[in-house]
Structure 1
Amino acid sequence: MTGIGVRGFLGLLLFGMLGVGFNFFQPLTSTVFRASIFFIALLGGIICIKNRRQLNKIELCSFVAISCILAMLAASMRSGYDGGLYHLPHQVWLRTEPIVVGLANLHGRFGFSSLYEYMGAALWVKDNFILLSYLQASFIVFFLLFLIEQSRNAEGAHQVLLLGVVANFIVFHDYIYEEKIDKDLALELWYTYTDLPAGILFTVTFLYGHWLVSQKSSVQRNEWSIFSLLLLAALLLKISSVPLVLWFLFVVLYRIVSKRDNPFPVLISLVLPTGFMFVWFLKNIISTGCLLYPLSSSCIDVPWSAKINALKDAQWITAWARHPGSGLYSLQDNGWFLSWWYPHYYPFLIKLLLSGGVVGILYVGIALRSKFASVKVLDIRFWGAVGVMALSLLFWFWKAPTPRFGIGVFFLFFPVVFLFFSGYDFDLSVKINKPIQVAVIVGLLFFSFYIGTPWKKISQQNLFSFKAITVPTPKTQADVTYGVRVIGGDQCWLSPQCSPYDRPPLSSWHGVKTFYNFNYYKSSQ
């Protein structure tokens, strides 16, 4: 299954990894990097033209139609309240400097360093961010195309799961653009945020793995490669996608043990993702001193290690998600749930139940028109899919229970759990005509975008060019010790070439920028 949707996600992964690789040596505004991206895109276009007869007409027409609709959505997209706080300032560093040793010592949030940052940093047009909004929208374009591709190939339980995800997505789509509720409750589409792209890759990776589990024939090497690369993309967008590693292992073991698939293609498929992961770990070690920031246990003993920042950031993310602006009390007791979280997110929970109800009604309707095959209550496929969903939900709730951090789990949870209770193996007694099924899914998705789009915000000016925000730059003054420091507060992370009082200054070591004084370290030994 390598339609436009899957290829689009793999292309975005390659785009981001090229940025990571080039940033070891050059800033992402370098002519060499931009020329490389241009020629790769040109080569891809030439290949598509040569293979145009192999393109599915439904997918191609859907791609054009969805792209046109989402261009309108991109015109109304906002930056997000963390955009100027650290997302865009971090991209400033990627655009102006090669990789900086110990950058997370300047500000811990720079250590998170999602793959999305490397994509976005290459798309600025001076201080214009319109291409960042189209980058965000492209994830939805490829997601919808992926659902359409799946609908053309799905059968049995996977077909039902796909319909459940589509129904769930339609309910949640209106919530993404809801403006009448608190901004913390909405899964808003913000062009500096990684939450929606990471949630989409979480959903896509799980669905692709479920499709492999459902296959009657042996899984091919290229299919294992796609699965492993989708998993890698989800992890590099946001480390909270880590429960998918268990899903990957489950799918591999199920195919090898139960279906007697050859394990050798699986090992071969892991070569490229392993290489990408090695580059990513190397980048993390250089900029943070940790393999997986902010996991403090992954920090190694190097002079520029930001282990203290990692520990603090991990604590504050959890505390802020449980009860914003209330200190760290929520890490010591569970009073945060009833005192703030439940009353505040009650409308969101109602929305979750509504989406679950829609999926349940859909499944009941399908069950009435189906004939169930014999279902094994202890079928391992039951426990694999539901177990991963349960662990993902618990992981989200315990570590960072903010709605936008769990988008992927919310898209999948009810469709997967209800499929578990309704029975796994069944055949539709009335076969659905594939073109009709695809047309219905496309129509429903388009309708959901129509009712969920803030049409009043769309204008011709916003469609082609807008300056939503500028990167904030605080006032600075000369300092004998640090060279430059901020006037009035520890806000130096807003400005390159600047260090707070209690952190090392920006220095140079053999021509490499660093936030650690290596010469001082050597003299003190």
Structure 2
Amino acid sequence: MLYFIAVWLVLLPVCYLIGVGCLNGLQADRFRQASDRQIAALWLGVVMLSVVLLATSIVLPLSLGVGAAIAASLVGVALLSKLTRIEVKSAWRSLTRWQWGTVLAVAVMVAATALEPVTWLDSGLYHFSLIRWLNRYGIVPGLALLFSNLGFNSSWFALAAPLNPEAIAEQVSAVTNGFAVLLLSLSGLLGLRQCVRGQPRLSDRFLVLLCGSLLLLSIGSGPLSDIRVSPSPDLPALYLTGITVWSLLVSAQPEPIADAVDTADTAVDATDTAASSLAGRSAVVPLILATGAVTVKLTTLPLLLVVGVFFAVTQRPLRLHSLLMGAIIVSGLLAPLLLAGILTSGCPLYPSSVLCLDLPWSLSIADAQEVAKDTHAWTSWYGPAPAGVHPWLWPIWRWLNERTTNKLMVIAALISLAATGYIVWVRLKSRSAALHGALWGMAVGWAGTGFIALLSPFLRFAVTYLLLPILLALAIYTGRAPKWQQWQRLASRRLVPLATCFLAMLLTLRHTWNAPSRWLLPDPMPQPDVVLEQVNDVVYWSPREENTVCWTADLPCAFEVKPDVQMRLPAQGLQGGYMRRPD
């Protein structure tokens, strides 16, 4: 536990400094308010640090020293700005003992819930192995030839690699997902503080509802609870999707900052023009966050699509150089992911077989198509439809009856549909410029839901998309109900601070009472029983039993290497990578 807390207390100021530098460089005018600026800075810092680490892994292994050097370099660049130095100095002086104590209490609380052993199967299958590859060797050409899942690149794995030193890696692989939970918790508290201090805006109420919902699901839901205590990129992808929509709401709200729907149902149309003209530069923030989310997990592509359109629409008057700047930002942030995909599998958008290249270390076309079918062609997973049954109805029926969470997804989609109707009704009735962002957030929700439904309908991919229209509708409704506002302020002032400290103590005792060793480090991951196998000159470890995975087995670990795979540069060992044997 102490290791997690120590790492997070270092990462927090590092990410904040990098993020403040980004905000000052972008001149994001809408993020002037202290709480908005702090939240945006933290998440921007995480995105930038992760992407730069992924880019670095193409040329260097991501050891602890390399990771520290990259973080220090980014902080140094941020501090070159005089505005950044002044802002950071002012923020440091304004911190109170109570605020320090709150951050520490939340860190302790989150760390206490992350002490269980990692049990998420995908982490044993390939997450942990990929982190170790990045830590020891960086990006390795042809790694997907060894095992197809090792071609799944993510900037989240790059962030984790330096934080998983070899000596304790088996015990601390959940450190990054714990950090994501910490960031979401602090974001929710900052939003709650804003709700308490004055008239909360739509973005403030949405943020509190978003963070509360995702935290409850992360703790209470079976799959998400397991993912929370793992290095899986699924969790940060869900969180970043929600935070990006929050930043979109902040960017879209009119100036002066006010939520017209909170005070009246009528608003002048003139505010629409003002909102659009002032949102242009600030729209870069959600654009960066959305692109960063894609580097974490490709399931967030609909988020980037909608935010990209939002960015283009807000550039008024429309200027070519503004659109070009946006394109450069997106391309620059995506470049490391695309290049890593080309190196590990030959496919820039792996596991998609689109745009795959024919390189010596590439997967064969048949293998790439098979991986794509296994990951996102879900209608083929249930076999051919029986005679007399429509070919589309058969997989839908099988999927619906496969697990309870699938039925919950359908129910959530129906509730989201009703919430969408409410948002549209309020927008038509009030004509409030403050609701522009809600319409865009709703578009993100439905674009993402449709994307996941078509490709891979799992709750862990779709939960934030499904929640977005519901949470936006609730945020609008609570702004129109004075009694709710009064109760919200009372509960926030008197209950939340005490509850935070109480939960921190309770959870710490619960998870460490019978295991005092957890005060320093969590329990290690399972140790598999492996045997040494060889194909051509490729020597690798393989689980002895069929239903077991690699977990903490030494590198390289695989299951069944094809007979045409060989070492790419044998003199360089594992770092030289793998290739297909020429015909």
**Are the structure 2 counterparts of residues 145 and 489 from structure 1 closer, same or farther at C-alpha, using a change threshold of 3 Å?**
closer
C-alpha distance in 1 between matches for 2:561 and 2:216: 42
| CA shift for structure 1 position 92 | 2.2
Q: CA deviation at 1:204?
A: 0.4
Local SS of the residue matching 1:301: coil
Q: Distance in 1 between matches of 2:384 and 2:149?
A: 18
Is 1:317 matched with 2:358?
no
Matched residue, 1:242:
301
In structure 2, the partner of 1:136 is 177
Judge conservation of contact 2:145–2:565 (CA < 8 Å) in 1: yes
Moved more, 472-481 or 106-115: 472-481
Residues 155-202 of structure 1: per-residue CA shift (max 9 Å, x gap): 9999346535634654554443337xxx45867522221111110000
User: Following TM superposition, by how much is the alpha carbon of 1:90 offset from its aligned partner in structure 2, in angstroms?
Assistant: 1.6
Give a deviation string over 1:491-513, Cα, whole Å, max 9, x none: 99864187714341223078561
Give the residue type in structure 2 aligned to 1:66: V
Instruction: Report the TM-score when normalising by structure 2.
Output: 0.70
| Residue 500 (structure 1) aligns with | 561
Do structure 1's residue 279 and structure 2's residue 351 form an aligned pair? no
For residues 117-147 of structure 1, what are the alpha-carbon distances to aligned partners after superposition, in whole Å with 9 as ceiling and x for unaligned?
A: 1122221231445543332122122223334
After TM superposition, the structure 1 stretch with the greater mean CA deviation from structure 2, 262-271 or 25-34, is 262-271
**Structure 1: which amino acid aligns with 2:569?**
S
Find the counterpart in structure 2 of residue 516 from structure 1: 579
**Equivalent residue for 1:112?**
152
In structure 1, the residue matched to 2:139 is: 99
Q: C-alpha displacement at 1:151, in angstroms?
A: 5.5
- Closer, same or farther: CA 73–318 of 1 in aligned 2, 3 Å: same
Residues 455-500 of structure 1 show CA distances to partners (whole Å, capped at 9, x for unaligned) of 7444442242133315647211455564567597999986418771
Report the CA distance between 1:234 and its aligned residue: 0.8
> Equivalent of 1:159, from 201, 218, 221?
201
Structure 1: which 5+ runs fail to align? none
Q: How does 1:201-216 map to 2 (within 5 A)?
A: 201-216=240-255
Distance 1:443 1:297 in 2: 50
Deviation of the 1:440 alpha carbon: 7.6
Contact 1:174 1:448 in 2 (8 A): no
1:84–1:472 Cα contact (<8 Å) kept? no
Q: Give the counterpart of 2:464 among 385, 390, 408.
A: 408
Amino acid at match of 1:6: A
CA distance in 2, matches of 1:445, 1:349: 30
1:203–1:412 CA contact under 8 A, matched in 2: yes
How far apart, CA to CA, are the structure 1 residues paired with 2:213 and 2:502?
A: 8
Q: Is the 8 A contact 2:142 2:343 kept in 1?
A: yes
In structure 2, the CA distance between the partners of 1:201 and 1:483, relative to structure 1 (3 Å rule), is closer
- Structure 2, unmatched stretches of 5+, are 1-30, 256-274
Residue pair 2:191, 2:208 contacting (<8 A) in 1 also: no
Aligned match of 1:228: 287
Q: SS state of the match for residue 63, structure 2? A: coil
| Matched position secondary structure for 1:392 | helix
* 2:568–2:577 Cα contact (<8 Å) kept: yes
The number of equivalent residue pairs is 502
Question: What pairs with 1:247-396 in structure 2 (closer than 5 Å)?
Answer: 247-256=306-315, 260=317, 264-265=321-322, 267-268=324-325, 271-306=328-363, 307-318=365-376, 333-339=392-398, 341-342=400-401, 344-345=403-404, 349=408, 374-375=430-431, 384-396=440-452
Q: 1:314 to 1:67 in 2, by over 3 A?
A: same
**Cα contact 1:505–1:515 (8 A) shared by 2:** yes
The Cα RMSD (Å) is: 4.9
Aligned with 2:286: secondary structure?
helix
Indicate the SS of the match to 2:140: coil
Displacement of 1:35 in angstroms is 4.1
Contact 1:289 1:305 in 2 (8 A): yes
Structure 1 Cα separation of the partners of residues 503 and 446 of structure 2: 29
In structure 2, give the amino acid aligned to 1:227.
Answer: P
Distance across 2 between alignment mates of 1:225 and 1:316: 35
Q: Separation in 2 of the partners of 1:266 and 1:158?
A: 32
Alpha-carbon offset, residue 82 of structure 1: 1.6
Measured after TM superposition, the shift of residue 381 of structure 1 is 6.2
**Structure 1 counterpart of 2:61:** 27
Question: Do residues 474 (structure 1) and 530 (structure 2) align?
Answer: yes
**1:37-89 CA distance string (max 9 Å, x none):** 46767998996873445656586664333223212222246341221111111
Contact 2:535–2:563 (8 Å) recurs in 1: no
Cα displacement (A) at 1:4:
3.3
Letter of the aligned partner of 1:122 in structure 2?
A: P
Q: C-alpha separation between the residues in 1 aligned to 2:143 and 2:527?
A: 18
SS of the aligned residue for 1:208 comes to helix
SS of the aligned residue for 1:505 comes to: strand
**Aligned-partner Cα distance in 2 for 1:373–1:444:** 40
